[in-house]
């Protein structure tokens, strides 16, 4: 009742809905039976319980109102609850069966205090021994809800006998009550084990179900006991569909807590789940299929029987079965899309399902599992479907289309046209924002889609009613528009916003125009004319921005940095320095920005050791992926802030950080390797964890005796190593190498510094100190460090465009693997390159597969890799590696990475 009840102050049919109807229909509004209900009025009505001549029907209505208030969250004071309770107890004298049931319900919901329970206990005990089974069952349910452990001991014998009662209603009631009592009085309930075991063999489905639930509740905190119980129940004859569903869930819990089988070894209890797929009950079949699909590290072989059963449910006449099946398959498609492809034909028929939830799930699943040839057909089917569903379902479809476009970038035109069309349709903010975000992601990840996406967004802001989205798009146009082939084409759309929109959008449009003026000298004069017009705007912010940008573009033209200067000082360090300045007694001295220390992002954890041999590397699945883009940008800004390092040129790639000290040591040193055209920059982030020492003149010495390809060009020491509260300080070592060389090796590193002890009495460091050093772990540089992922929309065309004489091919043995997918993922991570055309996903049960990888080597040298995998009956994986590049040296380097892995 509580879950379906609406606002008690509103009629069942809103008045707004009746306007669309005929005027005569207004008189036929249906009102909730609880319309206008108030607690005070109901408590007044409850006095009818004390009448000498009780009206059963009226009392039932009042109790219904009381139950409604309780289930709606209304709270009664102690005096109000006591008054209602004592009044209700008088109704036990009445013999009306329906009234008695309502009395049981209200007592169970009010839950009288411990000193009031004794008043009702005798009446409940009398009903518990009644010949009427309904009285007995309801009395037991109420008793189990209101009694404490002491009273439980007094009536334990009666409850224990009721577990094996011939009446299923009574046995079910006592088992349900025992489940609630198990948390507080578990030791007492455990003495009923024999009776509960007998109840498990009952013919009545509900009794068997609750007996299984009680047995598990008594053992829930003992993993071994739960495993033994599950073993016992799987071998027994549990016939109740509800009990079988419960057992399937317990089996899934045991499987989740156990280790998956090694190699071809079957998981524990997997055979039981597979046998449940052949059960007569549909609910048991679905529960077993869902449990298999949710297993940790589930394989395609284990998924196949579950997917087959769910495929049959897709064509069921029952909507609930269709919904359950397509929802489960949708989740499976996220991790194993190829395992669901066999259901695509059945799911296509569900696009026209009258249940929009089913249709939405079917579409999103198809978008996850569809192949390149089916995209156009799917888009045609979705086109007429989008206008019929709610915005929350549309957002799900948009997210699926975005993922599909990233998987098959060659189809970006059709998919982006679809997004553009739905963007022009009616919809709420969240829906529009999802589409705009999807287009932004596609512009970022698919370079060929940039101009098309910008043109679509320009059309959208002409009629956009959401300020947030307009500002977001204008900011994107300011960043990306000046870098396109024809930047002038976007000026009209941006300036229209200055004329027609609100102040927030006008200010954003001015900022976008200023970026065009800074990046495009040929457009600067035209931009200045447009910005001058904004000086007469009635909004202060718009006028101030116009004045600022005019000054930056006219008086201080420095290219892009005239509008977007690079702020070198980290905000966190600036805040700390300002707080320290304000707290100091002498604030007459001007604040000096040069005193602010630089900060660096938190260093990641130390990576695992590099495995020996390619087979070990694949088995472990370890690799060195590229540094996150945000961290790479932060590191690049830090290098630009150091004049000696900024002169070396732009950073090609920033490798993942390596921790060179143990966590418990006095000094924490993390190394970040930056790859440049002709240099390697080692950035050592150093932190002093010892408060009693000051470390000065900190530097790192690198041993280059056995590494002839490198020479030390520069070393920048750290004046004082900061403490943990201050963040990390940086010292740099710059090694020169021949331009275009992919030299690699292991570098021995030693941390050198001057130690000054701090006097505990004065808190000041000693003057002299002494020199000391600390041996760090070696820093590894591999050929893979010189390669970063690169997106290639058409791999075949790019492959044929590279010179054939640069192609190098060789065969490698990986060893025994569970599946080709494991080998494909691990080898792809070892090379650290971008998978093309969705080839990183291996079809289920495939015996061979081809992985296409694309990357860029330092010096902007393109490299493409074609990996052909094969697996035999003994699961031994062989691999053929073919490499093409603009340089034969790069092709050799790729093979060297595999050979040394």
pLDDT tier, 261 (very low <50, low <70, confident <90, very high otherwise): low
Q: What is the pLDDT of residue 565?
A: 62
Task: Check: CB of residue 336 under 8 Å from CB of residue 844.
Answer: yes
Q: What is the pLDDT of residue 595?
A: 67
Whole-number Å distance between alpha carbons of 678 and 684: 20
Task: Check: CB of residue 212 under 8 Å from CB of residue 176.
Answer: no
Average pLDDT value for residue range 306-329: 91
Return the minimum-mean-pLDDT range out of 328-332, 507-511, 574-578. Answer: 574-578
Res. 610: pLDDT tops 70: no
**Phi, psi dihedrals of residue 871, rounded to the nearest 5°:** -130, 135
Res. 417: pLDDT tops 70: yes
Query: What mean pLDDT, rounded, does the chain reach?
Result: 81
Helix (H, G, I), strand (E, B) or coil at 876: strand
Whole-number Å distance between alpha carbons of 170 and 137: 4
**Phi, psi dihedrals of residue 730, rounded to the nearest 5°:** -120, 135
Helix (H, G, I), strand (E, B) or coil at 588: coil
Res. 614: pLDDT tops 60: no
Average pLDDT value for residue range 98-126: 80
pLDDT tier, 558 (very low <50, low <70, confident <90, very high otherwise): low
Q: What is the pLDDT of residue 184?
A: 80
Percent of the chain residues past pLDDT 90, beyond the cut: 10
Return the minimum-mean-pLDDT range out of 311-320, 457-466, 756-765. Answer: 756-765
Q: What's the pLDDT tens digit per position in 269-288?
A: 888 888 899 889 999 999 99
Res. 856: pLDDT tops 70: yes
Res. 409: pLDDT tops 90: no
Q: What is the pLDDT of residue 561?
A: 64
Task: Check: CB of residue 681 under 8 Å from CB of residue 732.
Answer: yes
Average pLDDT value for residue range 547-567: 72
Higher pLDDT residue, 563 or 509? Answer: 509
Task: Check: CB of residue 828 under 8 Å from CB of residue 840.
Answer: yes
Task: Check: CB of residue 142 under 8 Å from CB of residue 106.
Answer: no
Average pLDDT value for residue range 136-150: 83
Sign of CA dihedral 842, 840, 294, 299: positive
Average pLDDT value for residue range 381-410: 80
pLDDT tier, 324 (very low <50, low <70, confident <90, very high otherwise): very high
Res. 370: pLDDT tops 50: yes
Identify which of 362, 365, 424, 356 has the alpha carbon closest to the alpha carbon of residue 392: 356
Whole-number Å distance between alpha carbons of 894 and 885: 10
Res. 323: pLDDT tops 90: yes
What is the DSSP track for 539-581?
SHHHHHHHHHHHHHHHTS-BTBTTTS----S-HHHHHHHHHHH
**Phi, psi dihedrals of residue 864, rounded to the nearest 5°:** -125, 140
Task: Check: CB of residue 700 under 8 Å from CB of residue 749.
Answer: yes
Q: What is the pLDDT of residue 431?
A: 87
Whole-number Å distance between alpha carbons of 144 and 156: 11
In DSSP terms, 856 is beta-bridged to: 788, 862
Q: What's the pLDDT tens digit per position in 617-671?
A: 333 333 333 333 445 567 777 787 787 888 888 888 888 888 888 877 888 899 9
What is the DSSP track for 128-158?
HTSS-HHHHHHHHHHHHHH--HHHHHHHHHH
Average pLDDT value for residue range 488-506: 90
Res. 504: pLDDT tops 50: yes
Q: What is the pLDDT of residue 6?
A: 45
Q: What's the pLDDT tens digit per position in 577-607?
A: 888 888 877 777 788 776 676 544 333 333 3
Instruction: Provide CB contacts within 8 A for 49, sequence distance 6+.
Output: 59, 62, 87, 88, 90, 91
Q: Where are the alpha helices (DSSP H) in 567-648?
A: 571-583, 614-620, 629-640, 643-646
Average pLDDT value for residue range 349-369: 84
Q: What is the pLDDT of residue 613?
A: 40
Res. 389: pLDDT tops 70: yes
Whole-number Å distance between alpha carbons of 263 and 53: 77
Whole-number Å distance between alpha carbons of 480 and 408: 23
């Amino acid at each position: 009742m509580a879950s379906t009840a609406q606002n008690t102050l509103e009629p069942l049919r809103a008045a707004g809905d009746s306007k669309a109807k005929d005027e005569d229909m207004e008189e036929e509004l249906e009102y909730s039976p609880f319309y206008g209900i108030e607690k005070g009025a109901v408590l007044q009505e409850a006095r009818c319980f004390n009448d000498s001549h009780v009206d059963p029907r009226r009392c039932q209505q009042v109790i219904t109102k009381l139950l409604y208030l309780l289930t709606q969250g209304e709270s009664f004071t102690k005096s109000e609850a006591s008054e209602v309770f004592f009044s209700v107890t008088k109704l036990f004298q009445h013999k009306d069966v329906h009234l008695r049931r309502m009395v049981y319900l209200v007592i169970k919901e009010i839950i009288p205090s411990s000193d009031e329970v004794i008043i009702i206990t005798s009446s409940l005990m009398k009903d518990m021994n009644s010949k009427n089974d309904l009285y007995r069952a309801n009395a037991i349910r109420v008793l189990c809800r209101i009694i404490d452990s002491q009273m439980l001991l007094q009536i334990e014998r009666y409850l224990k006998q009721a577990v094996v009662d011939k009446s299923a209603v009574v046995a079910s009631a006592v088992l349900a009550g025992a489940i609630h009592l198990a948390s507080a009085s578990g030791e007492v309930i455990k003495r009923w084990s024999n009776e509960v075991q007998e109840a498990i063999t009952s013919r009545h489905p509900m009794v068997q179900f609750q007996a299984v639930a009680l047995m598990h509740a008594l053992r829930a905190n003992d993993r071994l006991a739960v495993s033994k119980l599950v073993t016992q129940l799987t071998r027994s004859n549990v016939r109740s569909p509800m009990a079988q569903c419960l057992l399937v869930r317990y089996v899934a819990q045991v499987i989740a807590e156990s280790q998956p089988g090694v190699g071809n070894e079957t998981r524990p209890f997997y055979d039981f789940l597979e046998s449940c797929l052949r059960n007569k009950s549909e609910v048991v079949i679905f529960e077993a299929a869902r449990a298999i699909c949710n297993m940790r590290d589930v394989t395609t072989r284990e998924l196949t029987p579950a997917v087959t059963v769910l495929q049959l449910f897709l064509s069921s006449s029952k909507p609930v079965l269709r919904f359950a099946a397509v929802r489960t398959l949708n989740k499976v498609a996220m991790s194993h899309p190829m395992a669901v492809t066999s259901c695509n034909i059945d799911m296509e028929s569900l696009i026209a399902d009258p249940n929009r939830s089913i249709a939405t799930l079917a579409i999103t699943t198809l978008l996850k599992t569809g192949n390149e040839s089916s995209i156009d057909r799917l888009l045609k089917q979705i086109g007429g479907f989008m206008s019929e569903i709610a915005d929350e379902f549309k957002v799900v479809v948009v997210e699926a289309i975005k993922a599909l476009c990233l998987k098959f970038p060659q189809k970006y035109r059709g998919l982006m046209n679809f997004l553009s069309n739905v963007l022009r349709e009616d919809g709420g903010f969240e829906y529009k924002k999802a589409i705009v975000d999807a287009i932004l992601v596609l512009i970022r990840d698919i370079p060929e889609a940039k101009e098309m996406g910008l043109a679509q967004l320009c059309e959208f802001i002409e009629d956009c009613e959401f300020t947030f989205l307009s500002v977001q798009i204008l900011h994107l146009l300011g960043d990306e528009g000046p870098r396109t082939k024809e930047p002038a084409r976007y000026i009209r759309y941006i300036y229209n916003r200055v004329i027609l929109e609100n102040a927030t959008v006008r200010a954003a449009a001015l900022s976008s125009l200023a970026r065009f003026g800074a990046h495009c000298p040929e457009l600067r004069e035209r931009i200045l004319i447009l910005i001058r017009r904004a000086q007469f705007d009635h909004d202060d912010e718009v006028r101030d921005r116009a004045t600022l940008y005019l000054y930056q573009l006219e008086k201080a033209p420095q290219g892009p940095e005239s509008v977007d200067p690079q702020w070198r000082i980290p905000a966190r360090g600036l805040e700390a320095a300002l707080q320290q300045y304000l707290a100091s007694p002498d604030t007459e001295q001007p604040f000096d920005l040069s005193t602010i220390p630089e900060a660096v992002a938190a260093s990641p954890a130390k990576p695992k050791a590099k495995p020996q041999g390619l087979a070990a590397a694949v088995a472990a699945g370890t690799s060195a992926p590229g540094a996150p883009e945000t961290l790479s940008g932060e590191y690049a800004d830090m290098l630009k802030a150091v004049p000696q390092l900024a002169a070396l040129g732009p950073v090609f790639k920033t490798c993942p950080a390596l921790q060179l000290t143990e966590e418990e040591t006095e000094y924490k040193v993390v190394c970040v390797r930056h790859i440049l055209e002709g240099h390697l920059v080692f950035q050592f982030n150093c932190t002093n964890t010892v408060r009693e020492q000051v470390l000065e003149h900190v530097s790192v010495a690198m041993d280059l005796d056995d590494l002839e390809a490198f020479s030390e060009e520069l070393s920048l020491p750290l004046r004082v190593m900061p403490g943990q509260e201050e963040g990390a300080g940086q010292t740099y070592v710059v090694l020169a190498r021949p331009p275009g060389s992919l030299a690699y090796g292991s570098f021995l590193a030693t941390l050198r510094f001057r130690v000054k002890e701090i006097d505990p009495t004065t808190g000041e460091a000693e003057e002299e100190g002494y020199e000391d050093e600390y041996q760090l772990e070696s820093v590894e540089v591999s050929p893979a460090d010189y390669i970063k992922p690169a997106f290639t929309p058409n791999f075949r065309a790019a492959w044929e465009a590279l010179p054939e004489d640069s192609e190098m091919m060789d065969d490698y043995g990986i060893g025994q693997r569970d599946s080709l997918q494991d080998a494909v993922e691990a080898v792809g991570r070892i090379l650290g390159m971008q998978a093309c055309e969705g080839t990183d996903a291996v079809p289920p049960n495939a015996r061979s597969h081809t992985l296409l990888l694309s990357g860029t080597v330092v010096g902007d040298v393109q490299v493409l890799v074609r990996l052909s995998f094969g697996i035999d009956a003994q699961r031994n994986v062989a691999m053929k590696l073919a490499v093409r590049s603009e340089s034969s040296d790069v092709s050799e380097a790729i093979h060297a990475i595999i050979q040394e892995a």
